Amino acid sequence: MDLWFTEQHTKDVCFSIRVEKQIHSEQSKYQRIDVFESKEFGRFLTIDGKMMLTEKDEFIYHEMIVHVPMAVNPGVKNVLVIGGGDGGTIRELTRYGTIEKIDLVEVDKRVLEVSRAYFPEVSEKLSDKRISFYFEDGLRFIREKENEYDLIIVDSTDPFGPGEGLFTKEFYGSCCNALKENGILVNQQECPYYADYSKFMKRAHQCMQEFFPVCRIYQAQIPSYPSGNWVFGFASKGLNPVSDLRDSEWNKLGLKTRYYNTDVHVGSFAIPNYIRDILADTTEQQEF
């Protein structure tokens, strides 16, 4: 038996994982959700045929989207997570006893239910008492919020389909209003190498720059994602992700992490020239 899951990273590049078996498949109201079992990456979750997470390397994405902002502002109390129904971002957030309240806004409840059924180690903290669940559109949810959150994490799918509104100027403006003075916004910004993805990185970065005085990107190496290199955005009203890093404070917490450490934190903000050039190039600037 020779069964392969293949994702087209571009129309001319494919990444394939040998599958032991498909263990779940459904068309939810919003998207197609599948779960597979594999030797190399363990169980993995795809949405509309695109890799969302694998048991083997999900720690990289989830640690980097959470611990980077938390090590810059350990005083975070109120958090908004948009997307992230699988629970991985929640799992990392709940390790901070200082966080008081987490609003999780996930448009598709079935992502949570599927993660609970098949990824117990990813979803285990979705039962944490500090979480309030909102199964609705993130763009609409955030419109009414003002000066409410210390941290917003946009843990979205790719900006094709339901995640599209989370890559618009309106959305980042609303995030800015919803954040307090010391607020930080972190989002996933796709892959910087292939042009089909990097155009979204560039668009997100340009939109965020309109609202936030501090606007940077940082990288993490995630083997199951296109090109293996992924970019996150970090925006704030003042806190600098490198010079305001509270490294000794974070290290004193004694959190055991498998990817993140405070050296990696600083290193992840060192951006290769070709990626800097994409972000600096304004020739394709347009209204979003």
Does residue 17 belong to the site contacting its own copies (CB under 8 A)?
yes
Nearest distance, CB of residue 52 and its own copies, angstroms: 17
Q: Are strands 42-47 and 32-38 parallel, antiparallel or unpaired?
A: antiparallel
Q: Which of 12, 150, 155, 247 is catalytic?
A: 155
Nearest distance, CB of residue 268 and its own copies, angstroms: 7
Quick one: 49 or 75, whose CB is closer to its own copies?
49
Quick one: 129 or 256, whose CB is closer to its own copies?
256
The strand ranges marked E within the chain are: 4-10, 13-27, 32-38, 42-47, 50-54, 78-83, 101-105, 131-134, 149-155, 179-188, 214-221, 229-236
Distance CA 101, CA 213 (A): 26
Which residues in the 100-159 window bind its own copies by CB under 8 A? none
Quick one: 129 or 270, whose CB is closer to its own copies?
270
Determine contact, residues 190/217, Cβ cutoff 8 Å: no
Binding mask 37-66 for its own copies (x = CB under 8 A): -xxxx---------------x-xx------
Tokens 């999780």, residue? 104
Active site residue 155: yes
Nearest distance, CB of residue 288 and its own copies, angstroms: 26
Quick one: 79 or 215, whose CB is closer to its own copies?
215
The amino acid sitting at 160 is F
Binding mask 183-202 for its own copies (x = CB under 8 A): ----------xx--------
For 83: left if phi > 0, alpha if psi spans -120 to 50, otherwise beta; the answer is: left
Does residue 16 belong to the site contacting its own copies (CB under 8 A)?
yes
Nearest distance, CB of residue 57 and its own copies, angstroms: 8
Q: Within a 10 A sphere around the Cβ of 217, how many other Cβ atoms?
A: 23
Mapped onto helix, strand or coil, the DSSP state of residue 81 is strand
Q: Is 164 annotated as a binding residue?
A: no
Quick one: 263 or 287, whose CB is closer to its own copies?
263
Question: Cα separations (Å) of 189 from 24, 155, 192, 193, 206?
Answer: 28, 10, 8, 12, 12
Residues in touch with its own copies (CB under 8 A): 4, 10-18, 38-41, 57, 59-60, 193-194, 219, 221, 223, 227-229, 257-261, 263-274, 277
Residues making up the annotated binding site are: 31, 62, 86, 106, 137-138, 155-158, 162
